[in-house]
Structure 1
Amino acid sequence: MVTDVRVWCLRHAESENVTAGIAGVVPRAPLTERGHCQAAEAARGLDGEPIVRIYSSTALRARQTAAALASRGCGVVSVDDLAEVGIGADEGATDPAVRERTADVLRAWVVAGDLEQRVADGESGREVVARMSAVFRQLAAAHPGETVAVVGHVASLTVALAHLCGLGSRVWGRPLPHAEPFLVEWDGSSWRCSAWPMSVPVEAEDGDGLGDRGAGDW
């Protein structure tokens, strides 16, 4: 019985919350004009891949990115648990201090493995990893032998895949670019990611920090 599953993961394309420096889930922020072009380019890059379903965060920017991929003929399913990391009372902030705190928390999760940290009264890393891991388990169960796509967000995808694929701090300093697909595979017992986006092998030396662009969704 074939159990392997291929998942093309990508952060949504550039959106207005990112260009405006607004922190948090910001579910109604749309793509920018550049973002729509990036989403179309991602769709062209995946042309020929046997994708049977696209799973997207419920955020507008993720759904718009997924819609561009769906133009190739496969359906889109919105999933609540693919959301960006919640930051509670700091949701929607533009204060640089909040952005600095979000970067510090993500670093604690990814580099130090301290999943108890959180921004304000938002989610802990443990909560984010739990909900994202549940989604990937469901994908593995629902699509044995198939290929799917997941459109999500920079922080929640980073911490979840660092944990699921055993990448740890090797992804730190390499923030996910907008709308650049990368492959994550399930072999029936574990997840693996052979290369993080920007064509940087995960075996390369560790990075130093995510930087402001990496925390852009928050």
Structure 2
Amino acid sequence: MLCLRHAESENVTAGAAGALPSARLTAKGRLQAAEAARRVIGEGTTRIYASTAVRARQTADIMARTLGVDVVPLQDLVEVHVGRAEGAVDPATRARTAAVLRSWIVEGDLGEAVADGEDGHAVTARVAAALTSIAAEHAGETVAVIGHVASLTTGLSALCGLGRQVWGAPLPHAVPFLVEWDGRAWQCPSWPSGTAAQEVTGAAGS
């Protein structure tokens, strides 16, 4: 399985918090998505799964045209919902969001939430369910999964036991990385940070 964050989008350049399902790719983001497709063109990708958010679907559609595969939208891959803080750009909301994500990923405290949004239990459960379902359906195949920085990091951190190893290394836009499932445990052999991938170790139980 090749996972990646969507390409650069309007909500990211605006610094807006939340799921923001209608935010579109920027011109730079469209170029990033095309480059992501070129990176994996020799991997034999058979399908692309993507969050239902517009920015993820646009990333997937651009990649799919190059790779010649179908795109399947999955609601469970969407970004973290932050309730009444959705779309906020103020420093206090950004600081609270960072603190909550640190609590989930580094401390393993999934009970925290931004405003009245999702807690870490909800995010982890839905992302893990989506990835497990995809892996089970495509055993022995290579598929691409396009998600979002907070929800994808939270889910993979829990599945692969990454925690502190990936804190401070946010997923860059549209950089595919390998995630493996052997039927018993998940492995995240590397984690992209900037333009290079850092080696990580760890696995979660079944």
TM-score interval (norm. to shorter): over 0.9
Residue 39 of structure 1 is matched in structure 2 by 33
How many aligned residue pairs are there? 197
TM-score by length of 1: 0.89
Q: Is residue 2:2 matched to residue 1:8? A: yes
What is the 5 A alignment of 1:29-178? 29-71=23-65, 72-178=67-173
Find the aligned partners of 1:176 and 1:158 in 2 and give their Cα distance. Answer: 8
> Counterpart in 1 of 2:198?
200
* Residue 50 of structure 1: how far off its partner (Å): 1.1
Alpha-carbon distance between aligned partners in 2 of 1:96 and 1:20, rounded to the nearest angstrom: 12
For residues 75 and 50 of structure 2, what CA distance do their matches in structure 1 show? Answer: 8
Q: Distance in 1 between matches of 2:76 and 2:105?
A: 19
1:26 equivalent to 2:20? Answer yes
Return structure 1 stretches of 4+ with deviation > 6 angstroms. none
Structure 1: gaps of 5 or more residues = 1-6, 204-218
RMSD: 0.8
Q: For 1:161-192, what per-residue CA distance to the aligned partner results, in whole angstroms no more than 9, with x for missing partners?
A: 01101112111010000000000011121110
Q: CA offsets per residue over residues 1-45 of structure 1, 9 Å max, x none? A: xxxxxx100000000000011111111111001000100000000
Letter in 1 for 2:81: G
The TM-score normalised by the length of structure 2 is: 0.94
CA deviations 1:36-70 (Å, max 9, x no partner) are 01000000001111111100000010001001110
More RCO (CA 8 Å, sep 6+): 1
